[in-house]
Structure 1
Amino acid sequence: MSSTYFATVARGLEEIAAKELKSLGAKAVKPDFAGVHFHGNKELFYRVNLWSRIIFRILVPIKEIKSCNATQLYKNVYKIDWSKYLQPHQTFLVNCTGSNQNLNHTHFTALQIKNAIVNQQKRRFNTRSNIDIKNPDIIINAHINDNHCLLSLDSSGRSLHRRGYRSAMGLAPLKETLAAALLDMANWDGNIPFLDPMCGSGVLPIEAALKGLNIAPGLYRNKFSFQNWLDFDSTIYSKIVEEAKNKQLARLKAPIFGRDKDRDVIGQASINITACGLDKDIKLNQVQLEKIEAPADRGIIICNPPYGKRIGSSEQLATLYKLLGDVLKQRFKGWNAYILTANKELSQQIGLRTSRRIPVYNGSLPCTLLKYELY
Structure 2
Amino acid sequence: MAREAFEMIAKTMAGLEDVLAEELTALGADEIQIGRRMVSFTGDKAVLYKANMHCRTALRILKPIFQFKAKNADEVYAEIKKFTWFDILNEKNTFAIDAVVFSSIFTHSKFVAYRVKDAIADYFTQRTGKRPSVSVSNPDVLINIHIAENLCTVSLDSSGESLHKRGYRVAQTDAPLNEVLAAGMILKTGWKGESDFIDPMCGSGTLLIEAAMIAMNIPPGIYRKGFAFEKWNDFNQDLFDTIYNDDSGEREFNHKIYGSDILPKAIAIATENAKSAGVAKYIELRAMPMQQYTKAPSENGIIVTNPPYGERIKPDDLFGLYDMIGERLKHVFMGYTAWILSYRKDCFNKLGLKTSERIPLVNGSLECEFRRYDLFAGKRDDLKKTPKTNE
CA RMSD of aligned residues (A): 1.3
2:215 is the counterpart of 1:212: yes
2:15 is the counterpart of 1:12: yes
Kindly report which structure 2 residues correspond to 1:292-303, keeping only aligned pairs within 5 A, or say none.
292=293, 293-303=295-305
* C-alpha separation in 2, matches of 1:180 and 1:101: 35
**Mean alpha-carbon deviation: is it higher for 147-156 or for 94-103?**
94-103
TM-score norm. by structure 2 comes to: 0.92
3-state secondary structure, aligned to 1:5: strand
3-state secondary structure, aligned to 1:169: coil
* C-alpha separation in 1, matches of 2:371 and 2:109: 38
Aligned match for 2:204, one of 201, 213, 219: 201
* C-alpha separation in 2, matches of 1:147 and 1:354: 43
Amino acid across the alignment from 2:337: N
**Mean alpha-carbon deviation: is it higher for 200-209 or for 315-324?**
315-324
Shift of 1:289: 1.1
* C-alpha separation in 2, matches of 1:42 and 1:57: 15
Residue 274 (structure 1) aligns with: 275
* C-alpha separation in 2, matches of 1:186 and 1:12: 13
Kindly report which structure 2 residues correspond to 1:6-155, keeping only aligned pairs within 5 A, or say none.
6-155=9-158
3-state secondary structure, aligned to 2:171: coil
Shift of 1:256: 0.7
Shift of 1:97: 0.9
* C-alpha separation in 1, matches of 2:371 and 2:107: 39
1:34-59, Cα deviation, whole Å (9 max, x unpaired): 10110111111111110000010011
* C-alpha separation in 2, matches of 1:299 and 1:333: 10
* C-alpha separation in 2, matches of 1:290 and 1:179: 24
3-state secondary structure, aligned to 2:371: strand
* Native 8 Å contact 1:339 1:370 kept in 2: yes
* Native 8 Å contact 2:19 2:184 kept in 1: yes
Amino acid across the alignment from 1:11: A
Cα 1:325/1:102, change in 2 over 3 Å:
closer
Amino acid across the alignment from 1:49: N
Amino acid across the alignment from 1:356: E
* Native 8 Å contact 2:195 2:300 kept in 1: yes
Q: Which runs of 5+ in 2 are unaligned?
A: 377-391
Residue 308 (structure 1) aligns with: 310
Figure out how many residues of one structure are paired with residues of the other and give that number.
372
TM-score norm. by structure 1 comes to: 0.96
* Native 8 Å contact 1:65 1:77 kept in 2: no
* C-alpha separation in 2, matches of 1:70 and 1:353: 53
* C-alpha separation in 2, matches of 1:259 and 1:371: 20
2:257 is the counterpart of 1:256: yes
Amino acid across the alignment from 2:332: R
* C-alpha separation in 2, matches of 1:94 and 1:49: 20
Amino acid across the alignment from 2:49: Y
Kindly report which structure 2 residues correspond to 1:167-178, keeping only aligned pairs within 5 A, or say none.
167-178=170-181
Shift of 1:252: 1.7
3-state secondary structure, aligned to 2:328: helix
Aligned match for 1:247, one of 249, 253, 267: 249
Residue 367 (structure 2) aligns with: 366
3-state secondary structure, aligned to 2:9: strand
1:91-142, Cα deviation, whole Å (9 max, x unpaired): 1100101154553211111111111111111122221111111111110000
* C-alpha separation in 2, matches of 1:358 and 1:12: 8
Q: Which runs of 5+ in 1 are unaligned?
A: none
* C-alpha separation in 2, matches of 1:129 and 1:18: 36
* C-alpha separation in 2, matches of 1:150 and 1:279: 43
* C-alpha separation in 1, matches of 2:53 and 2:128: 35
* C-alpha separation in 1, matches of 2:204 and 2:147: 37
Amino acid across the alignment from 2:29: A
3-state secondary structure, aligned to 1:247: coil
Residue 384 (structure 2) aligns with: none
Shift of 1:24: 1.4
Amino acid across the alignment from 1:267: A
Cα 1:354/1:148, change in 2 over 3 Å:
closer
1:69-91, Cα deviation, whole Å (9 max, x unpaired): 12111111111011111122211
Residue 351 (structure 1) aligns with: 352
Shift of 1:167: 2.5
Shift of 1:176: 0.6
* C-alpha separation in 2, matches of 1:311 and 1:88: 48
* C-alpha separation in 2, matches of 1:124 and 1:318: 66
2:160 is the counterpart of 1:160: no
Amino acid across the alignment from 2:225: N
* C-alpha separation in 2, matches of 1:79 and 1:167: 44
* C-alpha separation in 2, matches of 1:300 and 1:147: 47
